[in-house]
Structure 1
Amino acid sequence: MLRYDLLFTWSDWQPLEFCWLGSAIPAKPGLYRIRRCGQSQLDYIGQTGDGKMTLRKRLGMLRGVYAADMPYRDPHTAAPALWALRHSLACHFEVSVVPIEGSTPWRKGLESLAISLYRQQERQSPTVSFGRIVSGYAMSSANNSKLVMQGKRFRGGLTTQVGPNHLSSIAPVGNLTEDPQTHHWCGHQWSAWQPLVSTIQQLSKEQSGLYRIRSSESATLLYIGQGNLRDRLNAHQKKALQPYDAQSEVFATAPALQCSWVHNANWQPHQRLELENDLIAAHLLMTETIPPAQFLGS
C-alpha cells in the first residue's frame, strides 16, 4: 500500500507555535500536516496557496490556538478544534510542510490524496479534519460582519452536549485502486448510470449520500459530490442549463450528463465528506487527473 508520508517530500517536524516567524516555513503554496508532539497520529492535513496566501501566512492564522479563549472558525477552520485539544490535554503541536506548485484544484486534489492515503493506513481521518472536535467542547462560530449584525457570532468552549462533530471518523469502505466508472468503486454499491434529469425525478427529498457525474461520451468523471442527492443533482442540472461560472461551463459543454449514486441515511455529514474525499483521491490516483468541475464552485 502506498504510504501518505512517502508520497511527498515532507519537511522535518518543527514546533507549530511561532513557526510562522522567520523563514523556516516557506512563503510558497503547499500542503501541511499537524500532530501532537510525541505522537505519530495526525490531527490535521491542510493545503493553502489561493491568491497571495502561502504556507507561512496560513500557519500564522493558527495563532488563536494559543489564546486564552477558543478562536473563531475564521481565519482558520481547524483552529477551534486544535485549541480544544490543547486545552483538554495540555499538549504541544508540531508541523511539517511540503511546497506544491500548480493550480488550486490540483493542490486540493493532492490534499485529498494525502488524507485518503493516511486514512487507508490508519483506518481513520486526522483527528480534527472534516469539522470534528474533541468530546466535551463546542465549536466556535465563523467570524464575519453578517453574523455580528445578526448577533449569531459566538465563541465555543466546554459543553456537556454531544453533537455529530463529536462522533468518530468513518473508516474507508474500500481501496483506492479501482476504475472510477465501476459499480463497486471504492467499496460502495453504486446505482446504474442514468441520465441526470431522470435520476432527479426518481430520488426522494430525504435521500442523502455520494454521487458522481459524467458525460455519456467521456471516459472520466466530471464531478464527485455528497449531500442531499436530489438537491445537489438538481443544482448541477440548473448550472448546466444556465452556466455562469467555470464549474457550470463544464456541465453545460458536456453532452448527455449522467449520474450514479450511493444512498446511506446513516452517514453523518462529516463522514460523507470523508468518503467523498476518498473518491476524489481515488480518481486522482487512478487517472492522474482531477474531475474537471471539481474544486471550481459549490
Structure 2
Amino acid sequence: MQCFSSDWCNLRWSRWQNVSRATSTGRTPTTVPGAPGVYRIRSASLGQMVYIGECSDLSKRILGTWARLNRRPARDFSSTKHAARRLAHLREAYGLEYEISFYAAHHEGRRDPRLDAAQWRKGLESRLLWEYRLEARMSSVANHRRSTVREGEQLAAEGSEVGFSEVGVPEVGFPYRIRPSSTPLPRPEQEPHSELWMGKRWTSLAECKGRGQRINWSAAGKELRESGNGTPVLYKVLDPNTHELLQVGYSRRGSGGALAAASRLAGEKAVAWAPLTGAGRQEHVLQELKDDLIGGYFYQMGKPPARQFAAEPSPSQ
C-alpha cells in the first residue's frame, strides 16, 4: 500500500521499526529527533494503519508513550492516553506487534503566516488521515474515536467490515469494539467555496449581518428553513469578500448549530452546510467527515483553513 511507503504524500518518512526499538541516541535514519512532526503506527500482521498523529517533539512523544506499546498492559497507560490504551487492549486481544515511522515536519516557506507551527501540523495530520481513508476505505483504528472499550461489547464477528475478521474473534465478553468506518469524501474537483465540493452539495451562502447581540443571518433562498434541528450537517465558514475558507465542522442541530458555531468567529463571515443522513448521526462518523474536509482543503491549498484550529468551537450538540 502506498500509505506504508517512504514517500507517502511526498514526505520523507523514516523506515518502519518496532515501536519498542525506538531510540533518540545515535545518528541512524531511525533515530527519533527531538523535533516537531507527524508519525504513523501500523500492525504489519493486519496490514493496517492503527494510528496517525502529530506532536511538537517526536522523541518525547514516541519514547514517552509509544515505545511501551508492545510490552506494557493497557492498565499501565494513563486514562488520558486514550489511543494508547485502545491499542494496548487490541494487542492483548490479538497478540499484535506495532511498528512506527515518522516525518520531522519542516514547514518553513510553506506556511501561511497567520498559522503557527502546531496549527499547520494539525492540518497535515488531517490530510494524512483522509489520504489513508481514501486508499484503505477505512479509518485508522484508534483515530476518530472509532475504537472503544466497553464492558460486554466485542469485536465484530468474521465477515464484518471492521477489518479484523482475518484474525478471529476474541473470547466472549472481551470488552472491545471497533466501529465500522464511513465512506471517505472524494478528492475535491472544485474550489472550496463552490456549491459542489468534496462530493457534497452545499447550500447557498448565508451571510452574517450585525454585531454582538444583534447578529442575524440572511440567505437568498430557503436555506435557513432547511436542515433544522435533528438533521446533522457538515458546515463551512468563509470570508464573504474573498471566499477564503475559514473553518469547517459539523453540527447535530442542523443549520441552527452551524450558524451558532460560525457566530463565534470574529469578523465578517458566511456559512454553507450539507445535510447528513443515516450513519452521519454517529460521533465517530462526524469526526471522520470533518477531518476529510480539513484534509481535502490541505490537499488543495497546502494548509488548513485559516481559523480551523484558532479557538475552534466545540461541535454543536
CA distance in structure 2 between the partners assigned to 1:234 and 1:159 by the alignment? 45
**Aligned partners of 2:19 and 2:67 also within 8 Å:** no
Give the 3 Å change call, closer, same or farther, for CA 159–27 of structure 1 in structure 2. Answer: farther
2:155 matched residue in structure 1:
none
1:43 maps to which of 47, 50, 54: 50
CA distance in structure 1 between the partners assigned to 2:21 and 2:289 by the alignment? 34
Q: Secondary structure at the match of 1:191?
A: coil
2:238 matched residue in structure 1:
214
Instruction: Provide the aligned C-alpha RMSD in A.
Output: 2.8
* C-alpha deviation, 1:219, in angstroms: 2.7
2:66 matched residue in structure 1:
62
1:78 matched residue in structure 2:
83
Q: Is 2:40 aligned against 1:33?
A: yes
| Unaligned 5+ runs, structure 2 | 108-116, 152-170, 209-216, 313-317
Q: Secondary structure at the match of 1:86?
A: helix
CA deviations 1:73-117 (Å, max 9, x no partner) are 42x331122112101111110100000134111111111111211
1:114 matched residue in structure 2:
128
More displaced 10-residue stretch of structure 1: 276-285 or 201-210: 201-210
Question: Alignment identity in percent?
Answer: 25
1:236 maps to which of 235, 253, 262: 262
1:129 matched residue in structure 2:
143
* C-alpha deviation, 1:289, in angstroms: 3.2
CA distance in structure 2 between the partners assigned to 1:6 and 1:215 by the alignment? 29
1:227 matched residue in structure 2:
251
Q: Name the one with the larger helix percent.
A: 1
Q: Is 2:187 aligned against 1:175?
A: yes
Q: Is 2:268 aligned against 1:264?
A: no
Give the 3 Å change call, closer, same or farther, for CA 198–18 of structure 1 in structure 2. Answer: farther
| Unaligned 5+ runs, structure 1 | 140-157, 240-250
* C-alpha deviation, 1:16, in angstroms: 0.8
**Aligned partners of 1:174 and 1:188 also within 8 Å:** no
More displaced 10-residue stretch of structure 1: 15-24 or 209-218: 15-24
* C-alpha deviation, 1:232, in angstroms: 4.7
2:118 matched residue in structure 1:
104
1:278 matched residue in structure 2:
292
CA distance in structure 2 between the partners assigned to 1:57 and 1:170 by the alignment? 33
**Aligned partners of 2:41 and 2:52 also within 8 Å:** yes
**Aligned partners of 1:64 and 1:83 also within 8 Å:** no
1:191-202 correspondence runs (5 A)? 191-196=203-208, 197-198=217-218, 202=225
* C-alpha deviation, 1:209, in angstroms: 2.2
1:188 matched residue in structure 2:
200
* C-alpha deviation, 1:177, in angstroms: 3.9
Greater C-alpha radius of gyration: 2
* C-alpha deviation, 1:161, in angstroms: 9.4
**Aligned partners of 1:180 and 1:282 also within 8 Å:** no
2:306 matched residue in structure 1:
292
**Aligned partners of 2:74 and 2:85 also within 8 Å:** no
More displaced 10-residue stretch of structure 1: 23-32 or 199-208: 199-208
1:13 maps to which of 11, 16, 28: 16
Give the 3 Å change call, closer, same or farther, for CA 212–159 of structure 1 in structure 2. Answer: farther
CA deviations 1:207-231 (Å, max 9, x no partner) are 3221001121013211111132423
* Residue-pair matches, total: 257
* C-alpha deviation, 1:27, in angstroms: 0.8
Which amino acid in the other structure matches residue 42 of structure 2?
A: R
**Aligned partners of 1:178 and 1:282 also within 8 Å:** no
* C-alpha deviation, 1:162, in angstroms: 9.0
* C-alpha deviation, 1:64, in angstroms: 6.0
